[in-house]
């Protein structure tokens, strides 16, 4: 589907790239200056739902810029007008519920880099779309870089065909350790009580199993989750048959509280993980947040992260099926 919509004008942003003929992110702006109010945006989204969703799939990232989106309430209206079902976040990031379908993004220290990932990649049911709203842009840094996942697969298969084949055949296994209570001093400090919505161990174990996790209870009250086998790559319908690098090997391999290995226990060679990290960075796309920006990600197609920043920075998030 080509770009053709009288209710939006195509813009540009610093850092955008053309990848395989697609502009990432596709910047959409008000068609005329007096159509920048929230009501005009909501009407435009309502009248062009199917087209707008196709633009997200086609370009993987769509950035609404130049609209008067002020706060979580405005952002929630945008999320709801799109009509996509909500999906509750499950993962290690400390987050706070703000309003209806809106949460804070990862509340870990702004000084830390949040590594590239597909949202909830290890959970059986993961979001189809991730939507971000910039209420307060940071004075320096704080970008939300993203990576076309299929480009990582292409390069890894080109450089490490045998290793990729072995991991594909065996699958992946991950472990992750979480405390009982939240630790907001860490970007992965969400406690298991908050994650599973209960203080009862048996209930937490039941909910973990339903999400595809096995668990081990630790003497300090924390929990170790074991996930596997999981895929290395994944092909999603409607994405040109592209193999997405749908894993979190680099983000979890050899870390203090996490691990990533082949499902049979075979270690993934360190040089393979290191080169994968380099490839992901080489393929990354970054832009500077502006106040009122609303960014739509196709979570099937993109990895995303967060650059370190100076405060203040306030980015809110909604996740959708």
Give the DSSP letter string of 35-64: G-SHHHHHHHHHHTHHHHHHHHHHHSEEEE
Rounded CA separation 29/13 (Å): 11
In the chain, domain spans: 9-145+286-320, 149-281
End-to-end CA distance of the chain: give it in Å, rounded. Answer: 22
- pLDDT at residue 2 tops 80: no
Average pLDDT of the residues of the chain:
95
Angle, helices 149-159 vs 161-170, to 10°: value is 120
Rounded CA separation 248/168 (Å): 14
Is residue 205 within 8 A of residue 298, CB to CB? The reply is: no
Is residue 129 within 8 A of residue 320, CB to CB? The reply is: yes
Give the least confident one: 19-23, 33-37, 189-193.
189-193
> What is the CB neighbour count within 10 angstroms for residue 13?
15
Which CATH number is 149-281 given? Answer: 3.60.130.10
Average pLDDT over residues 163-167: 98
- pLDDT tens digits for range 142-151: 999 999 999 9
- pLDDT at residue 38 tops 80: yes
Give the least confident one: 6-20, 84-98, 224-238, 243-257.
84-98
- pLDDT at residue 91 tops 90: no
The share of the chain scoring above pLDDT 90, in percent, equals 90
Class of domain 9-145+286-320: alpha beta
The residues facing 245 across adjacent strands are none
Q: Confidence class of residue 187 from pLDDT cuts 50, 70 and 90? A: confident
Query: Same fold for the domain at 9-145+286-320 and the one at 149-281?
Result: yes
Residue, of 69 and 95, whose pLDDT is higher: 69
Average pLDDT over residues 108-135: 95
pTM of the model: 0.94
pLDDT of residue 154: 98
- Helical H segments across the chain, by residue range: 38-47, 49-59, 72-82, 149-159, 161-170, 192-196, 201-210, 249-252, 270-282
Average pLDDT over residues 222-238: 97
pLDDT of residue 1: 47
Q: What share of the chain is helix, strand, coil (3-state, %, to 5)?
A: 25, 25, 45
- Under the phi-then-psi rule, with left for phi > 0, alpha for psi from -120 to 50, and beta for the rest, what region is 64? beta
Average pLDDT over residues 19-33: 97
């Amino acid at each position: 589907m080509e770009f053709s919509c009288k209710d939006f004008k195509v813009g540009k942003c610093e850092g955008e790239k053309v990848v395989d003929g697609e502009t990432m992110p596709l910047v959409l702006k008000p068609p005329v200056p007096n159509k920048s109010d929230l009501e005009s945006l909501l009407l435009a989204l309502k009248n062009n739902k199917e087209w707008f969703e196709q633009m997200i799939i086609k370009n993987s990232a769509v950035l609404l810029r130049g609209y008067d989106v002020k706060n979580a309430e405005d952002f929630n209206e945008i999320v709801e007008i799109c009509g996509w079902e909500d999906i509750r976040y499950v993962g290690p990031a400390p987050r706070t519920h703000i309003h209806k379908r809106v949460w804070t993004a990862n509340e870990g220290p702004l000084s830390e880099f949040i590594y590239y990932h597909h949202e909830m990649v290890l959970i059986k049911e993961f979001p189809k779309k991730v939507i971000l709203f910039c209420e307060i842009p940071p004075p320096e840094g704080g970008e939300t870089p993203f990576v076309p996942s299929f480009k990582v697969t292409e390069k890894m298969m080109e450089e490490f065909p045998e290793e990729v084949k072995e991991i594909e055949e065996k699958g992946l296994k991950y472990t992750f350790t979480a405390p009982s209570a939240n630790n907001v001093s860490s970007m992965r400090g969400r406690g298991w009580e908050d994650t599973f919505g209960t203080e009862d161990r048996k209930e937490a174990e039941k909910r973990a199993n339903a999400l595809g996790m096995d668990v081990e209870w630790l003497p300090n009250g924390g929990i170790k989750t074991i996930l596997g086998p999981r895929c290395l790559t994944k092909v999603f319908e409607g994405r040109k048959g592209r193999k997405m690098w749908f894993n979190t090997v680099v983000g979890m391999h050899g870390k203090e509280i996490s691990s990533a290995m082949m499902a049979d226990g075979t270690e993934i060679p360190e040089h393979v993980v290191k080169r994968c990290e380099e490839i992901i960075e080489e393929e990354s796309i970054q832009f500077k947040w502006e106040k009122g920006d609303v960014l739509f990600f196709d979570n099937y197609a993109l990895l995303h992260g967060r650059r370190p920043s100076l405060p203040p920075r306030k980015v809110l998030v909604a996740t959708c099926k």
